[in-house]
Amino acid sequence: MVKKWILFFSFFGPFQFYQLAMAVSPEDIVKYRQGILFGMGWNVGAMGSMVKGDVPFDRDKFIFFAERTAALTPMVLEGFQPETKDVESYTKQKTWENLRDFEKRMSQLLEETEKLVDVAKTGGESEVKKQFGKTAQQCKGCHDNYKKKS
Ligand code: HEC
């Protein structure tokens, strides 16, 4: 699954694969990406609560949230169309000149998230926590570079 995506990235480069096959306003594209990202935050937040010990660690629930995050991650890039660059959002302007790097970070996130699903299924609790940290680091790394402070 992960490999297939990386193959797509390297074959088609940015815009071609993510061209939208529908007429939609730039404002709606922004709403779409914010919606998916909010959903990712929802699921990652739920795992984070378990990792921090705010709620008891529950492997089945953790797998559920990790799988949902892995399902949402590949959807995000579709919302980062250059035609949205003048719409008010939390995306920094420099994102549009660095879409290759942006995409690379997103595929790294996908890789770590897929690993998180695997580790959640088979690993010990401490391994799960460690892999969660690596995954969350990908979120932070991109936010530090491309997301305005909210
Ligand atoms: C490759 C870059 C990148 C990665 C990786 C990334 N984000 Fe973001 N995220 C952004 C950008 C850019 C925005 C601002 C979106 C906007 O408003 O246009 C954002 C916004 C958000 C928001 C706010 C959404 C809203 O409007 O309410 C949440 C929540 C969020 N990200 C969670 C996450 C989580 C959780 C992860 C990791 C699992 C993650 N992001 C990974 C770039 C990234």
pLDDT tens-place string over residues 98-127: 999 999 999 999 999 999 999 999 999 999
* pLDDT for residue 150 is more than 90: no
90/48 Cα distance (integer angstroms): 23
Question: What is the distance in A from the centroid of ligand 1 to the CA of 65?
Answer: 17
91 lines ligand 1 (CB under 6 A): yes
Question: What is the distance in A from the centroid of ligand 1 to the CA of 64?
Answer: 20
110 lines ligand 1 (CB under 6 A): no
| 104 contacts: CB under 8 Å, gap ≥ 6 | 9
For CA atoms 74, 75, 79, 81, the dihedral sign is: positive
146 lines ligand 1 (CB under 6 A): yes
| 81 contacts: CB under 8 Å, gap ≥ 6 | 18, 20, 26, 29
User: What values do phi and psi take at 57, rounded to 5?
Assistant: -70, 125
38: buried, middle or exposed (CB in 10 Å: 19+, 13-18, 0-12)?
exposed
* pLDDT for residue 67 is more than 80: yes
Q: Which residue's CA lies nearest to atom 2 of ligand 1?
A: 142
* pLDDT for residue 141 is more than 90: yes
Instruction: Tally the residues of the chain.
Output: 150
Give the ranges where the chain is alpha helix by DSSP (H).
Answer: 2-18, 26-52, 59-72, 99-122, 125-146
37 lines ligand 1 (CB under 6 A): yes
39 lines ligand 1 (CB under 6 A): no
pLDDT digits (tens, 9 = 90+) for 14-43: 444 466 777 899 999 999 999 999 999 999
Question: What is the distance in A from the centroid of ligand 1 to the CA of 34?
Answer: 7
Tokens 């699921």 map to which residue? 43
Return the pLDDT at 4: 52
CATH code for 26-79+91-146?
1.20.120.10
134 lines ligand 1 (CB under 6 A): no
Q: In whole numbers, what is the pLDDT of the chain averaged over residues? A: 90
**Strand-pair partners of 147:** 91
Question: What is the distance in A from the centroid of ligand 1 to the CA of 126?
Answer: 26
